[in-house]
Structure 1
C-alpha cells in the first residue's frame, strides 16, 4: 500500500493564485501527496475532471501547476471516451487521485456508466490516496448538498459512500449551504455531516476522521449531527473541528 491504509482527503481547497501561472497547488494538495508517503521519486498524481466535463483548458492550467510542484501528473478523462485503455490499471499506478469540482450528480452518473466507482474503490483499498475539492469531496461520502440541479441547493444522497457520513463544502463562502445542511440533518434527509470551510481538508484513515488541516489560518471543519429540540421541532447540533495550519 502506498499510503499504508485506505486514505481520503476531502477538501474545499487545493489551489492558490500562482506567481507566474494562473494557479498553483496549495499546501492541502501537497498534503495529499505527503499522505501517500512517496519518497525518492516524483509523486504520481492523476486528475479526474469529470464533474466539469473534462475541460481541456483547466487541465492545461493544472499541468502548469503540477510542473511547478514537481508532480508526475496525468489526467483521466472520460469525455468523449476514456483517454487510457485500462482506467483501473491507471488508477492503481497512482499515488494520489485528485477529483476537481463541478457537478457531483453528473460525475456520479458518468463514473457509474464507466465502472469508475468500482475502480476507485479498489484503488482506495490498495492505498492510493483519494482526494478532491467540492464535488470531488462530496463524491466519497454518502452524499451532501449540491447546486448540480440548479441555483437552488438540493440534497444528493447517492454518492459513492466510501465514507459513512454526508459532506458539506464551502461552508464559510457560500452562505446558503450551512442552514440547508442544518435543516437536512435535523429532518433526517442527511445523517452525520462533515463540513469544510474553504481551504480546509478532512483526513480519513479507513472510515475514521483523524485530522483536520488547512491552508488558511483560522479556518475549520465542522461536524453536524441531529439533536433533540425542546419542542417537537428537531434541531441540528454543530461542532467546530479546529484545523492544523499547514502553512
Structure 2
C-alpha cells in the first residue's frame, strides 16, 4: 500500500509517555499511519534514529511502542555499517518511515554518505509516508534552526529539500526558536516556511501545504514569510484537533 500522492507529515510530536512502555505513539503518528491507507494487515513502519547516533536504547523503545500499537516494525541504522544490504529497497517496502529527533546535521551527513537521501526521495515519490519529530521534521525541508552545533541555535541550510520551505520545530517551547526563524527568513538565510508548536504537525501532499493538525490543546502551526520591506511576517494557520 502507499499514500495516493507523495506525503510528508512534519511534526513536533507523535510520541507520548507510555504506561507499560517508555513511549506510546500519539495522534500525529496515528495520522501518519492512517495516511498510508493500509488495510488487511499490520502497517509496516521503519524507524531511523540516525540523529541519535543509532542509539539502540532509542530503537528498543520505538520497537516497544510499535509492538503495543500492532505495527510491523523495522529500522535502518548506519553505524557501524548499514544494517540492510539494499537501503532503497527496504524503504520502498514500508508504509511509513518515522525519523527520531537529535542532531539534524549528523543525520544529513550520514544519510548522504550512505545514499539514504536518494532512497528517501524514491520512497517519498512512491507514496511511502515520511514523518518524524524535530530533526525528523526539519530534514525534509530546505533548512531550519538547530542546536546540533551547540547550545546556541544556528541555521541549517542543506536539508533534503523534498519540500521547498524552511521548518521551525518546538516553536512554543524553546524561547529562541521563534525569533531566530523569523530573523533568518527575513534576512533570506532560510526560505519562507512552516513552524510547529510542540504537539503540532504540518501535512504536505507533493510539495504543497495540505493542512495542520494538533494533538495538544492550544498547539498551533504558522507560516513565516518575508515581506517587501524585508521583515518577517508570521501567520497562524487553521488547525484540526486530532
TM-score, normalised with respect to structure 1: 0.96
| Residue matched to 1:143 | 143
Is residue 83 from structure 1 mapped to residue 79 from structure 2 by the alignment?
no
> Could you tell me how far 1:133 is from its partner in structure 2?
0.6
| Residue matched to 1:59 | 59
Secondary structure (helix, strand or coil) at the match of 1:82 reads: coil
Are the counterparts in 2 of residues 3 and 35 from structure 1 also a CA contact under 8 Å?
A: yes
> Could you tell me how far 1:228 is from its partner in structure 2?
3.5
| Residue matched to 1:195 | 195
| Residue matched to 2:115 | 115
Are the counterparts in 2 of residues 219 and 242 from structure 1 also a CA contact under 8 Å?
A: no
1:151-201 deviations in whole A, cap 9, x for unaligned? 111111111000000000000000100000111111111121200000111
> Could you tell me how far 1:242 is from its partner in structure 2?
2.4
Q: Distance in 1 between matches of 2:5 and 2:128?
A: 9
| Residue matched to 2:69 | 69
| Residue matched to 1:243 | 239
| Segments of 4+ moved more than 3 angstroms | none
| Residue matched to 1:213 | 213
What's the C-alpha RMSD, in Å, of the aligned pairs? 0.9
Secondary structure (helix, strand or coil) at the match of 1:155 reads: strand
| Residue matched to 2:128 | 128
1:196-219 deviations in whole A, cap 9, x for unaligned? 000111110000111101111221
1:64-93 deviations in whole A, cap 9, x for unaligned? 111111100111111111111111110000
Alignment of 1:39-50 (within 5 A): 39-50=39-50
| Residue matched to 1:227 | 227
Q: How many residue pairs were aligned?
A: 242
1:24-61 deviations in whole A, cap 9, x for unaligned? 00010111000100111100000011011000011111
Q: Distance in 2 between matches of 1:21 and 1:56?
A: 15
> Could you tell me how far 1:239 is from its partner in structure 2?
0.2
Secondary structure (helix, strand or coil) at the match of 1:242 reads: coil
Q: Distance in 2 between matches of 1:44 and 1:91?
A: 10
1:97-124 deviations in whole A, cap 9, x for unaligned? 0011011101000000001100110010
Are the counterparts in 2 of residues 168 and 181 from structure 1 also a CA contact under 8 Å?
A: yes
Q: Distance in 2 between matches of 1:101 and 1:64?
A: 18
Q: Distance in 1 between matches of 2:210 and 2:228?
A: 27
Structure 2, unmatched stretches of 5+, are none
> Could you tell me how far 1:243 is from its partner in structure 2?
1.5
Q: Distance in 2 between matches of 1:198 and 1:242?
A: 16
| Residue matched to 1:183 | 183
Structure 1, unmatched stretches of 5+, are none
| Residue matched to 1:23 | 23
